[in-house]
């Protein structure tokens, strides 16, 4: 069995970031709440939110840069994956689901489950069921590609 070390390291870093954020600010690492608060929060409360979001973007950019397929420019990895209308539609659906579920997978899945929240467990089960159904429909039900 091969151990997916990148996934193990990524999970450990996500967990560490959630613990550090909770320990230093008393806040849960729910990305949707952090993103919303980056523009709606009081000016004194925006700094850590922007630092957290910029750190996520920098980490994603680093992964694209260092894990790019040889001979393929990193900027083409996402652009070639799906048509723009699908990316926009997916983003709108995720935003709607985040609002409907009162949180996102990071808040419910990482922090809520760790705190033993029943509401977060239900939210994660719904997220996963929707993800499995969507994957099945795209791969076997005629798809959207």
* pLDDT tens sequence across 99-131: 888 888 888 888 889 889 999 999 999 989 988
Q: Helix, strand, or coil here: 29?
A: coil
pLDDT reported for residue 83:
77
Q: Look up the pTM and report it.
A: 0.70
For residue 142, report the phi and psi dihedrals to the nearest 5 degrees.
95, -25
pLDDT for 51 beyond 80: yes
The mean pLDDT value of the chain amounts to 82
pLDDT of the residue at 70: 63
pLDDT digits (tens, 9 = 90+) for 52-97: 899 988 988 887 777 665 665 555 555 566 777 887 888 888 888 8
CA distance 9 to 99: 29
Confidence at residue 78, expressed as pLDDT on a 0 to 100 scale:
57
C-alpha angle 133/135/136, rounded to 5°? 65
Q: Which residues contact 1 (CB under 8 A, 6 or more apart)?
A: none
Domain boundaries, the chain: 1-72, 82-145
Higher pLDDT, 141 or 54: 54
What's the rounded Cα separation, in Å, for the pair 92 and 4?
31
């Amino acid at each position: 069995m091969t151990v997916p070390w990148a996934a193990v390291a990524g999970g450990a870093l996500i967990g560490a970031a959630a613990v550090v954020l909770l320990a230093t600010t008393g806040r849960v690492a729910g990305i949707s709440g952090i993103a919303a608060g980056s523009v709606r929060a009081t000016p004194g409360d925006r700094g850590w939110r922007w630092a957290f979001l910029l750190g996520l973007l920098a980490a994603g950019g680093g992964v694209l840069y260092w894990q790019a397929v040889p001979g393929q420019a990193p900027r083409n990895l996402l652009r070639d994956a799906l048509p723009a209308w699908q990316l926009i539609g997916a983003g709108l659906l995720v935003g709607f689901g985040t609002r409907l579920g009162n949180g996102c997978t990071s808040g419910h899945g990482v922090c809520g489950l760790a705190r033993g929240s029943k509401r977060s467990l239900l939210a994660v089960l719904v997220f996963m069921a929707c993800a499995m159904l969507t994957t099945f429909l795209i791969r076997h039900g005629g798809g959207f590609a």
